[in-house]
Amino acid sequence: MTELLKRTFAARKAEGTAAFVTFVTGGYPTKDATVDIMLAMEAGGTDVIELGMPFSDPIADGPAIQDSNTIALNNNVGYEDCLQYVRDARAKGLKAPVLLMGYYNPIIAYGEEKAVKDAHEAGANGFIMVDLPPEEAIKFREICAKEDISYVPLIAPSTSLARIKFLASIADTFIYVVSKMGTTGSSANVAINTSLPSIISRIREYTPVPLAVGFGVATRAQFETVSDAGADGVVVGSRLVSVIRDAGSNAPEAVRAYCAELTAQGQPRQVQAQRPASAVSPALPVPESNPLAGDSLKVTEPTVLPARFGAFGGQYVPEALVDCLVELEQAHKAALADPEFWKEFEGFYGYMNRPSKLYFAERLTEATGGARIWFKREDLNHTGSHKINNAIGQILLARRIGKKRIIAETGAGQHGVATATVCARFGMECVVYMGAEDVRRQALNVFRMRMLGATVVPVHSGSKTLKDAINDAMRDWVTNLSTTHYLVGSAIGPHPFPTIVRDFQRIIGREIKSQMAEIKGKLPDAVVACVGGGSNAIGTFYDFINEPGVRLVGVEAGGEGVDTKHHSATLSLGVPGVLHGVRTYLLQSASGQITETHSISAGLDYPGVGPEHAWLKDSGRAEYIVATDEEALRGFRMCTQLEGIIPALESSHAIWGTVQIAKTLPKDHDVVMCLSGRGDKDVEQISELLPGKWAEKLDWHIALANINTRISYFPTAIVFPNTAEDVQKYVKCGAANGVATVGRSGGHSYASYGVGGKDGALVIDLSRMKALSVDDSGSAKIQTGNRLGEIAEKLWDNGQRALPHGVCPYVGSGGHTAFGGFGPFSRVAGLLHDHVTSAEIVLANGTLTTASATQNQDLFWALRGAGASYGIVTEWTFSTLPAPPTVISYRVDYNTVVLTVQQAKELLKSWQKIALSAPDSLSVICSIGRALPIGGPDLYLDFRGTYYGTKAEFDLLSANWSSIYSPGNFTHKVNNWYDGLVALSGPLSTSEPEASINFFAKSIFTKSAVTTSQWDRLFDFIGKEGFDVDVDWFIEFDRYGGGVSKQAPDFTSFAHRDAVISFQFFAGITPDPFPADGVPFLNKLAAVVDPKPKAAYANYVDPTLTPAQWKSQYFGRHYPRLVSIKRAVDPKNVFRFPQSIGLSL
């Protein structure tokens, strides 16, 4: 079988031309198309065919071949099918040699000897294994030689001379030469590597074996360039895959025509350019059929550090990566032996917050009733997890080898944040790859990375999780080796990465050992850690491996249960295989394809594990148990409620496992658990997961929580629709049963109206409905599950669009829009609901309808000002605005000044003058309140806002404020729109209300400036009673007018377009119960400003108002019309709460 390959290359050489080698993925584009495509290749002039064996994770391939692998696997094509394609093609007359090309793991799964034997019997001529290292290649070559099957090695531009010599020695027919660094791919517009002639000459110094050159060939001109560079064969793969994709059912003919074009079929083949005579004779002869005897040939460059842990580890990587790994390994070995390196590393302990604390979990221990439980508090490290240990170490290594660009993969986002942090600290470029699913569930960490200056690349292939992020990171690395260091985050990947990560993480176990000795005078009886890739676990275990009295326990992610397919229990249920450059335990199919995994925690959602863990399992030194999603959530809840520590979901698995182990041990034993990360990143995900089955299973009904814990109600049910059709079903159910039905968009109602405002309501929680799209005209369709911060972030990402909404990022868009929607930009652009062009709404009879200026006009008017009373709006359509190019955020605070009541009054009077004369482009917010701690005699005061214009305009405007801000601290910053919002509100991706507190709030609008007598009454009252009440209180003043008042009074049902100043009065306390005098105090505080207010803001809802008061103050003269519309669309008053529009005046 090897002889046919030799004859093929020899025949082309005799003609003075290069052999044409083509590639097709088996089973692509359909399961039945491959044989006809192979025959078409030969008909078009192909000399040698490479038949791709589909693999789930083809890290060396570019997008075209990646996609073809995915499609083939979806067609259920595996290695046996590829062998059948060869048999069928031979039966139909195929004469060209066929090479089976792909990745090693499916061959391991099939059985190497059987794979080669069956390939020979099917009529294949050889193998090209993309990720087979030389150590394994010797064994595999021997198996091939026994069956007269060729093994074709690969050589890259980066391959060292010593390795070239070795690889040439095992080539029996030809060598595949990779023309460029990077993944497979071609373009007619990209030139062939100009260094190709020298690459070929360098190889020819060691062997006369034919050289076939691939990567980057798309056109006849490129074919000739490669041939003239001295190649004996030219390989075309990615372009052919694209030709097949574009041709559809006509693929065979399109392939034949393309091959004929490249080979100039029907024309005399172009004779290759005359090659210069070789300066030396080949160092090695052309191998005979079986030149290898046992282990007579050895790799000439052994690793300088142990590359394996028993049977696991190694370097199963594309040839292009090998020399870079050698360089990294040598740098790490030198660093290990260099005291100055460790001195520099330890110099960052203050930055990292090391040593981390060893904390006795007293209440958890008490609740468990067994051994003492200790937490190694890696969650308190800088960036919130153990990941900073490795990030600092590797960034120092990267500096040693001169790499300026850093890439990383991340699952939960903790490693991405740590990498972005150290890159910011050392001034390096940072690119983080993250599965698109993980980007969704870890939005806060994505924001952190971007805030730190990193580029976050969502990966949409495969399961869109950690595995796929690693794939794309490795593709980036192989393309940019000369400038880039891959800062691997876990103890995975090819040697030396598992060793490097372990060496920087072992600080965890080393500190545990010394801290336990200091505190208890002994070693722990067990150490426990969660295991995904296994970095925190190997860091915890390593210093105890040679301490047989210490149990090492890893806790894997059991997902929905190990009796299902939805888990990440790699060590418990996996089998040995090769993935991401390393031999370890994997979750894979019988055919060697990597299976999709599941875990509630993104950081454990990985189908492999570090090779040292695989060795610890097989050797019996460590034990590995499983915690399911439910058990992890129980661990999360125990830690949160017993210790007041919110752990990462990854760590929560270890908490559950720790409790189970501690229960079985005596009370005088000690179990130390690595609390690897903090859980703030997971709070949003848990808030979305708990409603429904988890709330019931765990009896943990956080869904009932509202921002105001002073007022609690218990609904009949809380439902979480995913679609408008779901909302229709729930509304019909509520109406049929006579239950008061309310929508909840954000849970931010000051009076808990989001849960009904009284017991027994049906709450339709829209938090899962978060779709948002923007068309070319700037029209945005926004589902009402989006909170304001999410809207701002998504609009910015969709063409830098904007809307004039409020600045609290966690406020729901449903209520905010329905009752007005005022924010800093409103003085320029009006209220948020002024920009609504239509609304999709479910009415009381369950119908889904649209309200707009041309459809259901009365309802459209009512929805913009009193919308919650008429139905459940599932989607608003807004006419968005281009974001202002320049936004200047300013603040004047008096925190360093002790203000008397009189001083505060004079300052507020002065600021009112500025606010009243301010242009519409300036927003003005003033806050005054009681300085903390409660009991003090002082006031705090600040003024803040935003200017939408140029810095020069702002400087001119603010120059007139000098006499006012001189006692305080005046700061301002020029931002873009997005950063200006962040400056006012903090991270926009925040999706939950700030910590729930006990409070009471109310509002009034004034239709004119506050008079001197009103100021006097207000501050007299503050002086007399403002410091005696046991609550934290404040008043916030917002300047209205501008764009709000430019609309006609009846434009929407918002009744207060003539408002000049909005007062919000707020009194709160946490965590103590709300004092009895808190509500009366705040009501009196408001009354001294206006004893008989005529207007208030329905979004600052005040449950103490009488029906007559709230009807008048919220809706004014519009109330009768609103009642009329209510009677028409909701005659049975299905949508009701204490201050909803009713059926009577």
Residue 596: CB partners within 8 Å, gap ≥ 6?
462, 463, 607
State the Cα–Cα distance between residues 212 and 176, nearest whole angstrom: 5
CB 552 within 8 A of CB 543: no
CB 647 within 8 A of CB 675: yes
State the Cα–Cα distance between residues 762 and 729, nearest whole angstrom: 12
Residues facing 408 on adjacent strands: 432
Helical segments of 248-386, H only: 251-263, 319-336, 339-346, 349-352, 362-368
Residues facing 455 on adjacent strands: 431
State the Cα–Cα distance between residues 411 and 982, nearest whole angstrom: 25
**Scanning the structure block, which residue is given the tokens 């210490």?**
550
- Number of DSSP helices (H) and strands (E) in the chain, helices first: 43, 40
| Residue 996, Cβ density class (10 Å: 0-12 exposed, 13-18 middle, ≥19 buried) | middle
Q: Which one is catalytic: 42, 47, 50, 840?
A: 50
CA distances from 272 to 16, 224, 227, 232, 268 (A): 6, 8, 6, 9, 12
Q: Which two tokens stand for residue 623?
A: 């034990």
Angle between helix 196-204 and 161-169 (nearest 10): 60
CB 8 within 8 A of CB 155: no
Q: Which of 896, 908, 897 shows the shortest CA–CA distance to 1019?
A: 908
What is the DSSP-derived secondary structure letter of residue 456?
E
Burial of 647-682, coded b for 16+ CB within 10 Å and e otherwise, reads: bbbbbbbbbbbbbbbbeebeeebbbbbbbbbbbebb
Question: What is the phi-psi region of residue 469: left when phi exceeds 0, alpha when psi lies from -120 to 50, beta otherwise?
Answer: alpha
Residue 634's H or E segment, with its range, is helix 629-638
Does 618 qualify as catalytic in the annotation? no
Does 50 qualify as catalytic in the annotation? yes
Q: Which one is catalytic: 47, 61, 136, 224?
A: 61
**Scanning the structure block, which residue is given the tokens 């894979």?**
588
State the Cα–Cα distance between residues 774 and 790, nearest whole angstrom: 14
Q: Which of 441, 437, 394 shows the shortest CA–CA distance to 415?
A: 394
CA distances from 226 to 192, 218, 230, 497 (A): 7, 11, 7, 36
- List, by residue number, the catalytic residues: 50, 61
